[in-house]
Every structure is written in structure tokens, then in C-alpha cells.
Copies of this chain bind each other. A is one copy, B any other.
Amino acid sequence: MRDFSRSLPMSLLRAREAVMRQFRPSLREHGLTEQQWRILRALAAIEAVEVTELARTAFLLGPSLSRILRDLEARNLIERKTAKADQRRSMVSISKEGVKLMASVAPNSEAIYAEITRRFGARKLAELQDMLGALEQSLAELGSAEEASAEE
């Protein structure tokens, strides 16, 4: 069997960890996890979104998002109100405090990103992102590959 440490999943995992290791300390100082930061960033770009749409944008599963939103709301970093037209949906938006927190984290975050870009090379970075996108595309139609064996 192929040396698994050279497998694609491991390469992706290690690469991502190498990148995230740069950001985590800074986020941590502001009391934010990587996922909470993703949510705030996603919210900063728009007026308000439904939870399901936010899950897609921040690439989080529903249950994770539910928990995190509950916590972020308790910390007054976001706001929620149920949609008028459909009581099932709730519209989420970033609060004034949330915006303030983002403003205090963003410069450092940008600096780190810039340093990563500098080290790896802007061109190579763009190329890498293209390939990652292409990989995603290649596997998109495959879905979740349930053809393994017979299940219910």
C-alpha cells in the first residue's frame, strides 16, 4: 500500500495546518476560534443571511453553526431575528461590537496573510488556488461515493 504520509489527504491536511498555525495565536488573543472568525468574516460582507446560507459560505455543518451562533449571540457579536415571511428562517447579521472586534483583528490577520504570500510567492499561490479549485470541481459530480457496498 502506498506510503500514506504522501497521500493527497495528508498533503492537504499538513498544508492547511501549516497555514492555520500562523493565524491561530492571533485569533486566540482576541478570544476567537478559526470557525468563529470565519463566521464573522462571512457576515461582514453582507447585511444579513439565513443560517443555511451562512453554513454554506463559512463551510460549516449546521450543527456546528447552531452552537457557534448561540455563543456568538451570547457574546453580542452577532444579532438574529426571525424572518417575517417565514418563521422558520432566521436572519443573522454582525453586530456593532462584532464589527469592532473584526477591526481589531483584521490588520494582524492581513499582515500574516501577506507574509505567507510573500514567502510562498504570489504567483505560485494563485496557481495553487487554481489547482485546488480544479480538484474540487473534479470531485464535485462524484458526490459522496456511496457505491462501496450495499447499505439500507
Q: Which residues on A are within 8 Å of B, measured CB to CB? A: 1-26, 29, 34, 38, 41-42, 44-45, 57, 59, 106, 108, 110, 112-113, 115-116, 119-120, 124-125, 127-129, 131-136, 138-140, 142-146, 148-149, 151
What are 17 of the A-B contact pairs (CB < 8 Å)? Answer: A1-B110, A6-B129, A8-B19, A8-B116, A8-B125, A8-B128, A11-B128, A12-B15, A14-B59, A14-B136, A15-B133, A15-B136, A18-B136, A21-B139, A23-B145, A25-B145, A26-B148
Give how many copies assemble into the complex. 2
| Residues of B with C-beta under 8 A to A115 | 142
| Residues of B with C-beta under 8 A to A23 | 9, 145
Minimum CB–CB distance from A39 to chain B (whole Å) comes to 10
| Residues of B with C-beta under 8 A to A11 | 128-129, 132-133
**Contacts A4-B41, A138-B120 hold; do A145 and B15 have CB atoms under 8 A apart?**
no
